[in-house]
Amino acid sequence: MKKLIFTLAAAAVALTSSAQHYYTNANNPEMLHIGTPRTQQRTNIVIPQINGYNVYKADLHTHTIYSDAHVSMTVRLAEAWRDGLDIYAVTEHAEYRPHEKDYIKWLKGYLPEETKAENYNIVSKKGNKNGIRVDLNLPYQLATKSAEKYGITVIPGIEITRSPSKVGHYNALFIKDANSIYDADPEQAIRNAREQGAIVMHNHPGWTRKNLDMIAFEQRVYDQGLIDGVEIMNGTEFYPKAIDRAKQYNLFMASNTDIHHTTAELYAANGELRDMTFILAKDCSLESIREALEAKRTLAYSFGTVAGDEELLRALFLASVKFTPTQSNKERSYIQLENNSSIDFIIRQAEGANTVVLKRHSSILLRCAKGEGKQITIENLWCGADKKIVIDISSYLK
């Protein structure tokens, strides 16, 4: 009963507080608006400069109603801005666009009666001679228009989409003409994209697979140098072995949402930032982003875990965290660790010891017993399938 009274009291407070905000309407003085003014709010994700480069937040893998997702491009770009992104890649499926049947029904008055959707699903079978009939360049045009007011850089791209068990999915980024990429032979489709100057990323390498072993098609395109990057994370999927593969084939490492619903449902509702690829670049122009991807200056972020090149991850940690030695006595010394980034760091002082969390924009005091190990492991910074970043703290000890 006591609990019930408390709940009712809390509800009453909530109801009155939300009703306290009234806003007048210039056109109609007899009408008030209730609630908060319609100002859009952006989450600012703070990562200090790394090695002199700005850290831009990108989603290199997205979908809208123009392939198989459920929201418009306008909503996607507003969402990207609210989520703190600087870069949005348009990567609709070239071969899978299930909404087309409905669009044709919707446009019935404009189209000849017999018009049927065709070639909207050629993931595992060949399309007919008509090829892909819709304008695959439209999504990019709509995205650039929506992105203008947010100052988001849009990368033109497309997802080459075939059987996940026989071929896999590949995002071609920085394409020039989405309509001339499709080919019945997926390897030729990748080549068509590369002829346009595209950078090619291998998507979700573990999706629907039993393990991370490369299938024959992957092996062939990797060996021919047709692949430039790989997703280490895709949504909630994390493929640690892909870190080693990226190192072996010199690929940029990415983490992307592959968003089909909304990030509000999948991330914000749980207090999480969306998956994103940190791109270390001079500025946010297409040229600089491209240069950074070619130079493999990226890190993959997903649900608080960051994966990437060892030196870049170490630089990320040292740029984010300031070490200040404080008290020291015969038994122990203390170091204050101040985290100036939006990433939480999970720190382990010794093998088997409990971890401590150095939260975003917070400080902790690290107690180091004299004679104990002088290295800390950052458990959420992955630089290999089974390797985390280790930081030597001996120079910070008094």
Question: In terms of Cα–Cα distance, which of 276, 275, 296 is closest to 53?
Answer: 296
In the complex, the smallest distance separating the C-beta of residue 161 from Zn ion, rounded to whole angstroms, is 6
Stretch that binds Zn ion, among 73-81, 155-163, 237-245, 249-257 (CB under 5 A): 155-163
Beta carbons within 8 Å of 395's beta carbon, 6+ residues apart: none
Q: Does 258 bind Zn ion (CB under 5 A)?
A: yes
In the complex, the smallest distance separating the C-beta of residue 63 from Zn ion, rounded to whole angstroms, is 6
Question: In terms of Cα–Cα distance, which of 85, 72, 182, 169 is closest to 127?
Answer: 182
In the complex, the smallest distance separating the C-beta of residue 225 from Zn ion, rounded to whole angstroms, is 22
In the complex, the smallest distance separating the C-beta of residue 270 from Zn ion, rounded to whole angstroms, is 21
Q: Does 59 bind Zn ion (CB under 5 A)?
A: no
Q: At what angle do helices 138-147 and 73-82 cross, to 10 degrees?
A: 40
In the complex, the smallest distance separating the C-beta of residue 88 from Zn ion, rounded to whole angstroms, is 14
Stretch that binds Zn ion, among 159-167, 267-275, 358-366, 389-397 (CB under 5 A): 159-167
Query: Residue length, the chain?
Result: 398
Q: Does 202 bind Zn ion (CB under 5 A)?
A: no
Question: In this chain, which residue has its C-beta nearest to Zn ion?
Answer: 169
In the complex, the smallest distance separating the C-beta of residue 12 from Zn ion, rounded to whole angstroms, is 46
Q: Does 218 bind Zn ion (CB under 5 A)?
A: no
Q: Does 203 bind Zn ion (CB under 5 A)?
A: yes
Q: Which of residues 69-128 bind Zn ion (CB under 5 A)?
A: none
Stretch that binds Zn ion, among 131-139, 161-169, 300-308, 376-384 (CB under 5 A): 161-169
Question: In terms of Cα–Cα distance, which of 103, 216, 94, 89 is closest to 162?
Answer: 94
Task: Identify the helix (H) or strand (E) that includes residue 377.
Answer: strand 375-384
CA 64, CA 68: separation in Å to the nearest integer? Answer: 7
Question: In terms of Cα–Cα distance, which of 54, 115, 127, 130 is closest to 87?
Answer: 54
Q: Which of residues 166-195 bind Zn ion (CB under 5 A)?
A: 169
What ranges in 199-309 are assigned the alpha helix state H? 216-223, 241-249, 263-266, 286-294
CA 164, CA 202: separation in Å to the nearest integer? Answer: 11
The count of residues interacting with Zn ion (CB under 5 A) is 4
Task: Return the number of the residue (100 or 159) whose C-beta is nearest Zn ion.
Answer: 159
In the complex, the smallest distance separating the C-beta of residue 238 from Zn ion, rounded to whole angstroms, is 16
Instruction: Report the interface residues with Zn ion, using CB under 5 A.
Output: 159, 169, 203, 258
